[in-house]
Amino acid sequence: MNVPLLDLKRGFEGIEGEIREAIEGVLDSQRFILGPQVKEFEEEVASYSGTKYAVGVASGSDALLLALRALGVGPGDEVITTSFSFFATAGSISRAGAMPVFVDIDPETFNLDPALIEAKITERTKAILPVHLFGQCADMDPILELASKHNLTVVEDAAQAIGSEYKGRRAGSMGNLGCFSFFPSKNLGGFGDGGMVTMDDEGLAEKVGILRKHGGRSEYHHSMIGYNSRLDTLQAAILQVKLKYLDGWSKKRQENAGYYDQALKGIDGVKTPKDMGFGRHIYNQYTLRAKRRDELKAWFKAKGMGCKIYYPLPLTLQDCYRFLGYREGDMPQAERAAQEVISIPIFPELSLEEREEVVRVIRDFYEGGAAVSS
């Protein structure tokens, strides 16, 4: 049996009629740029995330960039963030003209370790950018406390965490701004790129709204040097349909995670991810730590099983950041995670048989005497 890491077709099949209707509606109107569906969807995401405002943008990466720009982050500024995330987290800081300052992660959650932040704060620090990695919120209370103590702003990278909760608050509603991605593999995925910035502050909402259309409050009059970064009407119309199903899908991901937690518990060789009990974990990924990880990955591949390494290299060791001067050993936990992590199929439509097969393949690897090389 082959089990894919993610099968978008299955999610689509259940709602195909509704989606086609939504697309037809946009085609009929021909209002492709900031059509009414964008505003409606912004209101829906704001309400879903527990914020007053939300502004649709072209991608999750741009959501981060526009959020930082709206806060006035730019050249000469430093932004403290995690060393273990998708590249766009750090790339957006650089694109804003600022310098990313990396901290190591908490090995239990793969999220930025709040205890390591204060030592990195300088007079140039403007913001802290925590990531809610794999669908579980970073430990936000100590981060928000530090930010308020040092007069810093907080931008949440909630690209993998729409609907995730922390002590009763939703991802994207705790910092000054929250950033979401609708890349197809996220829990709420569009049919292409898309993103959203959430906030309670009206001034910030206005700024992000201006930045996404070239920095102009009125057409051809530019108060800021902005971008072409709007959420397409077509994507908004599609995402409006999908948002209605998101809670059900998140629940299924949690059920799959619960199954794996139990079924993999006794296998010596893998460590299941820890749910910190902060609130709802939406499992964008189910990420194990595995002994002989690269061999296990090859074993998965040989068995026709989907898996992926998120992420094989910490941000501090990326070629493009060599100029920052970080070295191997600077981020021991992130570096160890990069060697040990492997994400397995967790998507909502995964069948019982498929889940069992994934577990069987892992069990065979560690207990069946398989692949006893080296």
Contact present, 255 and 354 (Cβ < 8 Å): no
Compute how many residues bind ligand PLP; rule: CB under 6 A: 15
Is residue 106 a contact residue for ligand PLP (CB under 6 A)?
no
3-state secondary structure at position 43: helix
> Of 106, 139, 193, 340, which lies in the binding site for ligand PLP, with binding defined by CB under 6 A?
193
Check binding of 82 to ligand PLP (CB under 6 A): no
**Contact by Cβ (8 Å): 269, 365:** yes
| CA pair distance 215, 206, nearest whole angstrom | 10
- For residue 274, the 8-state DSSP code is P
Picking from 70, 57, 69, the residue whose alpha carbon sits closest to that of residue 159 is 57
Q: Contacting ligand PLP (CB under 6 A), which of 86, 102, 249, 286?
A: 86
51 vs 235, which CB is nearer to ligand PLP?
Answer: 235
Structural tokens at position 202: 């009206």
The residues in 121-180 that bind ligand PLP, with binding defined as CB under 6 A, are 131, 157, 159-160
DSSP secondary structure string for all residues of 275-327: P-SSS----S-EEEEETTHHHHHHHHHHTTB--B-S-SS-GGG-GGGGGGT--
State in angstroms the smallest separation of the CB of 87 from ligand PLP.
Answer: 8
Residues 6+ apart with CB under 8 A from 251: none
Cβ-contact 162, 282 below 8 angstroms: yes
256 is a site residue for ligand PLP (CB under 6 A): no
Residue number, 212 or 303, with CB nearest to ligand PLP: 212
CB of 313 to ligand PLP, least distance (A): 15
User: Rule CB under 6 A: is residue 89 a binding residue for ligand PLP?
Assistant: yes
Please tell me whether residue 85 binds ligand PLP under the rule CB under 6 A.
Answer: yes
Q: Which stretch binds ligand PLP (CB under 6 A): 81-89, 241-249, 290-298, 301-309?
A: 81-89
Residue closer to ligand PLP by CB (options 85, 287) is 85
Q: Binder to ligand PLP among 37, 49, 51, 59 (CB under 6 A)?
A: 59
Torsional class of 74: left (φ above 0), alpha (ψ -120 to 50), beta (otherwise): beta
Interface residue list for ligand PLP (CB under 6 A): 59-61, 85-86, 88-89, 131, 157, 159-160, 181, 183, 193, 195
